Structure 1
């Protein structure tokens, strides 16, 4: 259990794709003008990461090291193509909004990095857990950034969720600030940089406070023992 706790702690916080590794910033800044787009791209990336790790783990004993990276790239490209076709078929409106950023999941270094460094060296269940943790961490940041930008930029939350994700997601649509005239810069690209900088600063502050508390507890414990 401690192994899986560590895997999820890395994916969601310590080694988060965005907050810890500073990867996938291009789609992060481009599609998070609202929470719906962030959730859609996050779930698509989550699907690719989980199944890429799963298949790479199954193939780890049959694919030689010399050709492992090309095979992994081909695997990820195949899964992204399947995801792109499924979104186009069943969530066409979301597919039109996300556009080029769905095929660009292939170039997401986080996916190839996890497949190469973790899934290709571990058994099936830990590999799937790693893909799930990293995918969830990325989805949370995408959706969170989109939510912040959408609320402050237009006063809504998950606008058009029923149109982009299907009628079952209509319950997500909320008007947070009625009669709000909006803060345009936050839903434009500069707003993405602004919100990301505040999120990173908040993470560093939380980590620093947690570290000081841990050091204080260690020092207090040592003095009591003495």
Structure 2
């Protein structure tokens, strides 16, 4: 959870009311420095968690919105892959030039046409350049790894929708909380009665005992798709 005012994190806390103890979330900046640090309001945990899960179920019940999100992600991933491939081609060419220059200096040193001082400084510089290029090359190779493998299909989204609907009707509050947590990428607190979530798109419910039907279902790499909701303000 992120405070939209000060960009600090929200943290969990608890307090004792007239009848019982209750949980709430508070901006860490306000908790540490008081109202002079941040005047963002506290949020009741149970009401927030209920609203987050309800919004999650509502999101998965909107196939058109999710289809648009997955299509946009695939396009972005394809564009990033093309750009990374261009950078890889340029890096490979630069690395070949650097390695060739290093080889020339080594041959020149063996032939006695450059001094030891000249050889050492230049080869050290070329070696550092080559290491930097190889590190960047490895990063780009990792980024080029197919990004579409984690994007759920519409059929998979429909299965998750049905599972979430079942959980909404039959699962206990702790189970619904755990499921919402598994699907939440970020919660941005704009006001006491307005929290904007960004959810992950997953191919199934988490493979944990929070599955309402007791099945282990694989969870794949998430895709963030924003939506919004307004939780009920705490008393």
TM-score by length of structure 1 reads 0.27
Higher helix share: 1
Larger of the two Rg values belongs to structure: 2
Higher strand share: 2
TM-score by length of structure 2 reads 0.26
